[in-house]
Structure 1
Amino acid sequence: HWIDALYQVYLTALFGGGAVIIVSGLVSGDELSSSGIDQVLREGPAWLGVLVALAVAMGLRSGARGGPIALEAPDVRHVLLSPVPRQAALRGPAVRQLRFAVFVGVVVGAIAGQLAVRRLGGNFLAWVACGSLFLAATVALGLGCAFLASGRRLRPWLATLVGGVLLAWAIADAVDAVPGSPTAYLAELAFWPLDVDPVAGLLVVLAVAAVVVGVAGIGGVSLEAAERRTRLVGQLKFAATLQDLRTVIVLRRQLNQELPRPRPWVRERHHGRFPVWHRGVRGVLRWPAPRIGRLVVVAAVAGLALRGVWEGSIPLAVVAGLALFVAGLDAIEPLAQETDHPGRREALPLPEGYVLVRHLPLAAVVMVKVGIIAAAAAVLVDPSVAAAELAALCILPAAFAGAAGAVISVLMGAPEPSDNWQMLPPEVQGSRTAFRTVWPPLVATLGTLPVVFARVAAENDSSPWEAATTAGFLVVVFTVVVAGWVHQRAVIKDWWRSQQELAGLGGGGSSSSSGDDGERGGGRSAGPGSGSASRGGPARTSRTGGKPGARKVTTRLERP
């Protein structure tokens, strides 16, 4: 309904505007010098070109698997099978999805533009307009490629190959390995307030052409792929509504057809000791290539964001923390599989914490490798001995914090319907929901504190390495506490449940028991523990609400 939509716009504007104001206040530092602006013009388009290539790759991959439109099941089974042209039936949903995505791109691009003008200088309106135009064109280009791949029924392997080559080319251009990436020229549109290059206008032309051609041929979508996508997307939305992140991840992998390898990458020998470790290693060695590639990309994003934090853009710590959290969700897959099958775990003659805590070393090893990739990406931007030393100090805190946040998210699971929190007012429930949502990523973001402290120490003429070491030690200690919570989680949960049951028996159960005792005592008044006495009312003598009990009359047949 339009009222619900207006209310959602109101909430988005309220919270989004507040977030923008807060982030804008965190962006500190003076405007860059002419040499700094020249460096931005040299390196910035290549890195933004990676974003354009990523949008194209994701669009091709989504379209080859029946996306990006997710219809309702009746629409797929009845409307698309009816004599109505499929193009006419799909044009409306495609335009609505495109309109919403472009609107989000315009808003996010405007926010990025008003943040960029604080460091790069120039006309405020020009930066906002170019940021909105660039991101809207990028989103439209990605959706247009998705419509093309879906309508032409592009093979999934071909879509992955084309998108992967384009993305690899863009990344190689960003690290100065291979020059001449086409997406780098298109990304110069975002820097028009500093230097106008007419070639960058081709991004808008390509986006419009891809959208027009894609929407025109959207009727060729595969019905089987559309029905499969509809079923999984419906389950995914329901799981997201229940705040069940683990189910969302599993359904997302099914949607992307991300299946384990039938053969491991490397054969692993088992010597009979540490069965939990070896079982987890065997699972990791069967990870598909897309999952490994996703870990590498997320690690690189975290490293580049941390490099930006070291250069002075402290708000990028949030981006790095979210990237570490996403990587941690993949790293703790063996532990997540253990929680997905509680019946198997309960069949073991071992405590729950004993089994779960033995999955943590493998997650730590995987995250350390992610941290090494992130450190390499951060150092390669501007290699130096100081950057390498600082990156080495931050590997363990970042890795352990990312894994800790993911572990907390998986073990918390979805809120229980029978939880006593459901009896509280909506305001309290909303605060609890917000805390459950924010707490795991916040824990992962703690891994960026060494870099943040090092940057603050460098600005105050202190030793950044000492600050990073102190902050890193505190983060590692906190992750050890999280590991202890994993080990004792079941014990703590049972104790808390028993306390709640005792509190319930002490309140509601005492009234009935004391009332029964009073009734069995021949009409004696209830004790101080009864329900009515505790509420200040008269003592109950029976279950008739305080009235005297009915006297038993002995009949003639019952008399001796």
Structure 2
Amino acid sequence: MSSQVLGIDALHAMRTERRRHRVADMDWFEALYRVYISAFLGGGAILFLSGLSGDKQILGSDLQNMIANTPHAVGLVASIIVFLGLRSGANGGPIAVEEPEVRHVLLAPIPHSAVLRHPAIQRLRTFAFMGAIAGATANQLLSRRVTSSGTSLVVWALWGAIAGALMAMMFVIAALLIHGLGISRWFTTALGTALVGWQVAVTFGDTNTAGPFDFIGSISRWWLYGVQLQDVVGIVVVLAFAALAVYLAGNLSLEALSRRSALVSQMKFAVTLQDIRTVVLLRRQLSQEHMRVKPWVKVPRIFRRDIIVGRGLRSMMHFPWRRIVRMKLLTMTAAAALVMAYRGTSPAIVVAGLLLFIVGLDAVEPLSQEVDQPDRTDSLPIERGLLMTKHLIVPAIAMTPFLLAGVFTAFVLEPHTSTIAYGFLVGIPAVLAGVAGASINAVKGAPDPVGGANEGLALPPEMSGMGTVLRAAFPPAISIIGCLPVIALHHSVESGGPVFGNTIRGSVGILLVLGLVAGWVRQRDAIHIWFRNAQKSAQTSKAEGK
């Protein structure tokens, strides 16, 4: 028997033994509890979105437009997913094996393909499962508004699950192919841009030409026309590319795998601690994103009179091109989601709010850097609350070009003159809410002025856990709340009420809430000191009463 065969047998035996030990050491009660929590939260989210979407039926011309444009629209989402997969592969993705696998197993005298095909198949399987859940949920939400089709909910969910699984798999397939073939980053970007551009052209152009990913949207539409032969051919092609991608897994770069395994392990730990700032920094390292050495333009002297504002502007001027493009694309996608909410798909505001929160995480980079260096901040002759409040000025102003991109996107989707005015009415509080949510996330990472690292230990475990969840969910919730004026706009149009008045009242209300957020940033330290003193006074009074 050759040494290569012995090595493969040893690898299989090692993995089997590790799996056996992992199962033996598993706390089944804890595992069942995690399954219960996941099912509870997932089912609750689906029920919440189902109720939020409403029961208003899509009929007549709206139904015909939806049926005709579904392949293009879903194909556009698929093209963006493929583009992200191509970029992931160019940066060393999509799999991340453990460091011992890289250092020992991959340096052993056995083929790399025998080691790496298993994690590649695992990644395909995981993404397919997640995509199937997302696709089934999306089609289930749509089925509530197209009951005239007479199709059962199970059929809707089935076709949506197949389409979602294929879309998610294409991310992994694209990344494995690019990484396995060793294609350069510039060519990968050009290829991905061409695919997205092609799909955008057929989506928004007045043409009957099919896009490269229209078959994905057509599969999600099988509830209407049944199984189509050309779509089955598309599925076969995707599966063939999946087989090729797994076959090429042995060509993955050891250096990229080693680097990625270290960063991903750190990122998992940061996610466990709910440290979003560390996750953002590690993601930038994974994508090899670096600040520009030379600024785009030199900040004029007049804007540098205030050192805090000037520092923020100089930081913005060193943003890399890919970060600016990413922020603009995310804002445009959020604008498209808000248009969907205006048309009646209310859950789209959740998508828009989360996207704007991600944009805000990049926009508040100067503030985040200030929080990252508490010793330097405390040494400055200025109150920390005032310092952080001044750091909110530049991100709020810097969102202007992204706001314009969002209004332009809304105008393309709803080509009416009034779209521009209402786009600004809805967009201004939405983008500022994204900055506000990201600012809360950044500021809450600053040290407590009275040393509150152990304040959660005084609470019961169930209350402490609930507090942790609320602290993690509050920043993105603020960003989602900022998108609510579009709901007021939609209901005003539907009910025939004062559209402008209701929309502007909703926007002003959101701006008042954002003003409270700025006040919290300014007075955060004072609030913590007051609360701690009040807590100590209450404890002292209670002790004296005894």
Superposition TM-score, scaled by structure 2 size: 0.88
Q: Residue 189 in 1 paired to residue 219 in 2? A: yes
Distance change (3 Å), C-alpha of 1:501 and 1:113:
same
* 1:408 maps to amino acid: I
SS across alignment from 2:299: coil
Contact 1:375 1:391 in 2 (8 A): yes
Per-residue CA deviation, residues 64-115 of structure 1 (Å, 9 max, x unaligned), is: 2222111111111001111122111112222222212111111221111111
Number of residue pairs matched by the alignment: 511
Q: How does 1:113-124 map to 2 (within 5 A)?
A: 113-121=139-147, 122=149, 123-124=151-152
Distance change (3 Å), C-alpha of 1:433 and 1:403:
same
Tell me the percent identity: 36
Q: Residue 374 in 1 paired to residue 409 in 2? A: no
Q: Residue 270 in 1 paired to residue 296 in 2? A: no
Q: How does 1:149-228 map to 2 (within 5 A)?
A: 149-176=178-205, 180-195=210-225, 197-228=228-259
Distance change (3 Å), C-alpha of 1:449 and 1:30:
closer
How far the C-alpha of 1:496 sits from its partner, in A, is 3.2
SS across alignment from 2:205: coil
SS across alignment from 1:193: helix
Distance change (3 Å), C-alpha of 1:32 and 1:316:
same
The correspondence for 2:59, drawn from 33, 38, 43, is: 33
Structure 1 residues not aligned, in runs of 5+: 511-528, 535-560
- Structure 1 residues 40-49 or 403-412, which shifts more? 40-49
How far the C-alpha of 1:504 sits from its partner, in A, is 6.2
Per-residue CA deviation, residues 207-256 of structure 1 (Å, 9 max, x unaligned), is: 21121111111011111111110111111111111111111111111111
Per-residue CA deviation, residues 395-429 of structure 1 (Å, 9 max, x unaligned), is: 22112211111111111129988322123222112
Contact 1:335 1:356 in 2 (8 A): yes
How far the C-alpha of 1:257 sits from its partner, in A, is 0.7
Q: How does 1:321-400 map to 2 (within 5 A)?
A: 321-400=353-432
Q: How does 1:34-183 map to 2 (within 5 A)?
A: 34-121=60-147, 122=149, 123-124=151-152, 125-176=154-205, 180-183=210-213
Q: How does 1:237-248 map to 2 (within 5 A)?
A: 237-248=268-279
Q: What CA distance in whole angstroms lies between the structure 2 residues aligned with 1:55 and 1:114?
A: 21
Contact 1:106 1:135 in 2 (8 A): yes
* 1:60 maps to amino acid: L
Distance change (3 Å), C-alpha of 1:173 and 1:270:
farther
Distance change (3 Å), C-alpha of 1:234 and 1:505:
farther
* 2:415 maps to amino acid: P
Contact 2:371 2:445 in 1 (8 A): no
- Structure 1 residues 232-241 or 160-169, which shifts more? 160-169
The correspondence for 2:461, drawn from 402, 410, 426, is: 426
Contact 2:111 2:250 in 1 (8 A): yes
Distance change (3 Å), C-alpha of 1:330 and 1:81:
same
Q: What CA distance in whole angstroms lies between the structure 2 residues aligned with 1:500 and 1:82?
A: 60
How far the C-alpha of 1:287 sits from its partner, in A, is 1.1
Q: What CA distance in whole angstroms lies between the structure 2 residues aligned with 1:289 and 1:24?
A: 39
* 1:113 maps to amino acid: N
Per-residue CA deviation, residues 298-355 of structure 1 (Å, 9 max, x unaligned), is: 1111111111111111111111111111111111111111111122212211111221
Q: What CA distance in whole angstroms lies between the structure 1 residues aligned with 2:114 and 2:493?
A: 61
Per-residue CA deviation, residues 110-150 of structure 1 (Å, 9 max, x unaligned), is: 11111111223421233222111111111112211212122
SS across alignment from 2:220: helix
Q: What CA distance in whole angstroms lies between the structure 2 residues aligned with 1:30 and 1:293?
A: 36
Per-residue CA deviation, residues 537-557 of structure 1 (Å, 9 max, x unaligned), is: xxxxxxxxxxxxxxxxxxxxx
Distance change (3 Å), C-alpha of 1:486 and 1:58:
same
Give the match for residue 229 of structure 1.
Answer: 260
Q: How does 1:461-472 map to 2 (within 5 A)?
A: 461-472=496-507
How far the C-alpha of 1:156 sits from its partner, in A, is 2.5
Q: What CA distance in whole angstroms lies between the structure 1 residues aligned with 2:61 and 2:234?
A: 27
How far the C-alpha of 1:383 sits from its partner, in A, is 0.7
Q: What CA distance in whole angstroms lies between the structure 1 residues aligned with 2:293 and 2:502?
A: 47
Q: Residue 410 in 1 paired to residue 442 in 2? A: yes
Q: What CA distance in whole angstroms lies between the structure 1 residues aligned with 2:135 and 2:33?
A: 23
Contact 1:327 1:367 in 2 (8 A): no
Contact 2:331 2:405 in 1 (8 A): yes
* 1:386 maps to amino acid: S
Q: What CA distance in whole angstroms lies between the structure 2 residues aligned with 1:260 and 1:82?
A: 38
Contact 1:148 1:214 in 2 (8 A): yes
- Structure 1 residues 37-46 or 335-344, which shifts more? 37-46
Q: What CA distance in whole angstroms lies between the structure 2 residues aligned with 1:25 and 1:482?
A: 29
The correspondence for 1:300, drawn from 332, 354, 376, is: 332
SS across alignment from 1:462: coil
Contact 1:242 1:415 in 2 (8 A): no
How far the C-alpha of 1:494 sits from its partner, in A, is 3.1
How far the C-alpha of 1:495 sits from its partner, in A, is 3.2
SS across alignment from 1:371: helix
Give the match for residue 352 of structure 2.
Answer: 320
How far the C-alpha of 1:368 sits from its partner, in A, is 3.3
Distance change (3 Å), C-alpha of 1:180 and 1:415:
farther
Higher relative contact order, structure no. (Cα contacts within 8 Å, ≥ 6 residues apart): 2
* 2:183 maps to amino acid: L
Give the match for residue 449 of structure 1.
Answer: 484
Rg comparison, structure with higher value:
1
* 2:464 maps to amino acid: Q
Distance change (3 Å), C-alpha of 1:268 and 1:64:
same
* 1:296 maps to amino acid: K
- Structure 1 residues 7-16 or 241-250, which shifts more? 7-16
How far the C-alpha of 1:393 sits from its partner, in A, is 1.4
SS across alignment from 1:30: coil
Structure 2 residues not aligned, in runs of 5+: 1-22
* 1:119 maps to amino acid: R
Give the match for residue 552 of structure 1.
Answer: none
Distance change (3 Å), C-alpha of 1:275 and 1:171:
farther
How far the C-alpha of 1:474 sits from its partner, in A, is 1.0
How far the C-alpha of 1:177 sits from its partner, in A, is 7.9
Q: What CA distance in whole angstroms lies between the structure 1 residues aligned with 2:88 and 2:31?
A: 27
Contact 2:53 2:345 in 1 (8 A): yes
Give the match for residue 512 of structure 2.
Answer: 477
How far the C-alpha of 1:499 sits from its partner, in A, is 4.2
